[in-house]
Amino acid sequence: MSLVVENLTIDHGAIRAISNVSFKVPEGQLAAIIGANGAGKTTLLRTLSGLKEAVSGGATWNGESILDKKPEDLARSGIMHVSDGKSVIAELSVKENLALTGLWRKDKKDVAAATAEVVELFPILGQRMAQTAGSLSGGERQMLAIGRSLIARPKLLLLDEPSLGLAPLIVEQIFQSIKDLVKRLNLTVVLVEQNAMGALKIANEGIVLSLGSVVAVDSAQTLLNDPAVRAAYLGF
Amino acid sequence: MNQFITAVLTSLSTGAIYALMSIALVLVWRSTRVINFAQAGQAILTTYIGYEVVTRSGSYWIGLICAVISGALLGAGIDRFFMRPIFKRVNSGPIVMIAPVVATLALLGIIQAIIGFIWGLSYQTIEAPISTGGLTIFGSIVAFSPFNLMVLIAVTLSMISLTILFQKTNIGLALRASAYAPEIAKLSGIRVDAVRTLGWALAGAAGGLAGMLYIPGSNLYPNAMDVLLVFGFIAAVIGGLDSLFGAVAGAMILGFAVNFSASYISYKLVFPTAFLILIVVLLIKPKGVFSSGKSRSA
């Protein structure tokens, strides 16, 4: 199983957001897509999860095209997109937010088991079950959003800026749990981040986007150590 | 005293009918972000179907059940085969905000014209299943009948069922999630389009029920529900458009205001009172009287 993106081109309104982007993420690997604000990272993820149409090119998961499918069908087939910021439903309780990804699953026993695992992973959620998601802190919301996606037993996780607006200590904690999850559940992850340093530290591979095009692809370690890449694209 | 008791009781039973229409509008608004003007047409068409069944079978109850079921089917059909294609076709520019609403207005006109062709424009009546004569309370007769009491009980039971459906069931959770955040719901694997159609079906059923409870105390003609659409809409705005509880509370506020001003001052004040409340709410608490000050979220 792997995610293969080939010559993908996407428009955002009248603007070409992504042009001719190709990359591959093998099963069980974490790829970080980094780049400045406006590089087209979010548009790319929205297309991979079925929220947005591509102009041309292809994307396959496990050999099957994912571009012509609806987001709810992709979600049900194990491709979970945790959209940017804190993608929780503020009006619903923590418990109800977690239940969303279990509603359509037939195996209710496994839903219960998966929910218990999520609470074990993020114990704070267990204490907040009856509270509305709107009352959570930014970090707790991010845990809830990731936790909710895990209850669907995903194979491919698309994470959009999980660090957005979080305190550095919390960011480190979230990144660490993502890294652990990849290892423990053999997840394949596409992590879109502006926080390039943090993302590359946990990633296997790094893909640098600039103005809608791929400008560098290499192992995360190499990108972190390459002074030219650091200066030109990572800004540190 | 008699006048007061009468006013309270009629406020409750008319408020209950407004509540059904208001809930129908709120259900559609929550799921589709459209004010469904066709609601009056859907409700009256299904009431005509109920009327036809009552006439042929001789049973009000069978007619009531048929009206509610056909209301649900009609609502679902309108969303699936009329609204969904419109949303698909119209997806950019300023027309996006207007097209769906105008479409429901057009639909209202078409439905009422169809009714005219089939049943004619003259008044028909649906016989109430139980007495519509005033009850005797404290030795005097008040303008509140056993049928009015039945209306009140039927609406209360529907509200309780709807509340249980929304708060205690998986379908209810899907309905709420799709209303608050359709994109997150989709990404969680919920079939938001189907859930939306269910919202339209529930609204259609509420409209059919409203018609079958309202018409026996009035007359049946193609425009008979138009006034209820207006009152239901005002009640929904009072309640904040998004909230089922707000819709019911708004309907009760409106029912009491309208009936008390009619009873104690003049029946000519029914419409001015209703519109005055609408304007005051829009000026002072445009997000609805029960909003907590936080912005109305999608």
Q: What is the pLDDT of residue B142?
A: 81
CA distance to A27, A209, B81, per residue, from B277 (Å): 61, 56, 36
Quote the CA–CA distance of B213 and B228 in Å, as a whole number: 12
pLDDT at A234: 64
pLDDT bin (cut points 50, 70, 90) of residue A157 is: very high
Q: Are strands A30-34 and A56-61 parallel, antiparallel or unpaired?
A: unpaired
The whole-number pLDDT of residue B295 equals 44
How close A154 comes to chain B (CA, Å)?
11
Task: Calculate mean pLDDT across residues A145-167.
Answer: 93
Helix and strand numbers (H, E) in chain A are 10, 10
If you count residue pairs, one on A and one on B, with CB atoms under 8 Å apart, how many are there?
Answer: 70
Set of chain A residues whose Cβ sits within 8 Å of the Cβ of B173: 92, 96, 99-100, 103
The pLDDT assigned to A105 comes to 94
Cβ neighbours of B192 in A, within 8 Å: 72
Topology of B2-284 in CATH? ABC transporter involved in vitamin B12 uptake, BtuC (1.10.3470)
Domain locations in chain A as residue ranges: 1-78+155-173+186-236, 88-154
Report d(CA B66, CA B47) in Å as an integer.
Answer: 9
Nearest CA in chain B to A52: B183
pLDDT (0 to 100) of residue B292: 59
Express each pLDDT in A217-236 by its tens digit: 889 999 888 887 777 766 65
> What residues of B are in contact with residue A152 (Cβ under 8 Å)?
188-189
For A100-132, write each residue's pLDDT tens digit.
Answer: 999 999 999 999 999 999 999 999 999 999 999
CA pair distance B39, B44, nearest whole angstrom: 8
Q: Which residues of A touch B (CB under 8 A)?
A: 49, 51, 70-72, 75-76, 80-83, 87-92, 96, 99-101, 103-104, 148-149, 152
pLDDT along chain B (298 residues), means of 10: 85 94 94 92 97 96 98 97 89 82 94 95 92 82 88 94 94 94 94 95 97 94 94 94 92 95 89 93 88 48
**Residue A166 neighbours by CB distance under 10 Å:** 21
Question: What letter would DSSP give residue B79?
Answer: I
Quickly list DSSP for B140-165. EE-S--HHHHHHHHHHHHHHHHHHHH
Q: Would you list which residues of chain B are within 8 Å, Cβ to Cβ, of chain A?
A: 170, 173-174, 176-177, 180-181, 183-192, 297
Please give the pLDDT value at position A235. 64
Rounded distance between C-alpha atoms, residue A234 and residue A195, angstroms: 9
Instruction: Give the pLDDT score at A84.
Output: 74
B188: chain A residues, CB-CB within 8 Å: 75, 100-101, 103, 148-149, 152
* A4, amino acid identity: V
Q: Evaluate whether B20 touches B189 at the Cβ level (below 8 Å).
A: no
Token pair in block for residue A134: 């709107």
- Beta-carbon separation of B170 and A49 below 8 A: no
Q: What does the pLDDT read at residue A32?
A: 95
Torsion of Cα atoms, A122 then A128 then A133 then A134, to 10° = -120
Residue A195 has pLDDT above 90, yes or no: no
Q: Judge whether B31 and B242 are in contact, CB under 8 Å.
A: no
Q: Are strands A30-34 and A205-210 parallel, antiparallel or unpaired?
A: parallel
With H, G, I as helix, E, B as strand and everything else as coil, classify residue A170: helix
Token pair listed for A103 = 């509603």
Answer for the pair A72, B191: CB distance below 8 angstroms, yes or no. Answer: yes
Domain A1-78+155-173+186-236 CATH superfamily:
P-loop containing nucleotide triphosphate hydrolases (3.40.50.300)
Q: Which two tokens stand for residue B296?
A: 């109305």
Dist CA B31 CA B25 (whole Å): 10
Q: Do A104 and B186 touch (CB under 8 A)?
A: no
pLDDT value for A210: 87
Tell the burial category of B134 from Cβ atoms under 10 Å away from its Cβ (0-12, 13-18, 19+). middle
Q: Where are the domains of chain B?
A: 2-284
Q: Which residues of B touch A70 (CB under 8 A)?
A: 186
Could you tell me if B17 and B214 are in contact, meaning their C-beta atoms sit under 8 angstroms apart?
A: yes
pLDDT at A113: 96
Q: Does the distance separating the beta carbons of B183 and A72 come in below 8 Å?
A: no
Tell me which residue has tokens 């239940």.
A99
Q: Are A89 and B181 in contact (CB < 8 Å)?
A: yes
**Residue B204: closest CA among B87, B109, B111:** B111
The structure tokens listed for B242 are: 């998004």
pLDDT at B137: 77
Residue written as token pair 């458009």: B241
Record the tokens describing residue A182, joined without a space.
Answer: 């990849």
- The predicted pLDDT at position A83 comes to 86
For residues A167-196, give the mean pLDDT: 92
What pLDDT does residue A236 have? Answer: 57
Among chain B residues, the shortest Cα distance to A96 is held by: B173
* CB-based contact B192 A99, cutoff 8 Å: no
pTM here is: 0.89
The b-or-e profile of B218-254 (16+ CB within 10 A means b, else e) is eebbbebbbbbbbbbbbbbbbbbbbbbebbbbbbbbb
Q: How confident is the model at residue A85, as a pLDDT? A: 61
Please indicate whether, in this complex, the C-beta atoms of B188 and A152 are within 8 angstroms of each other.
yes
* Rounded CA separation A36/B255 (Å): 57
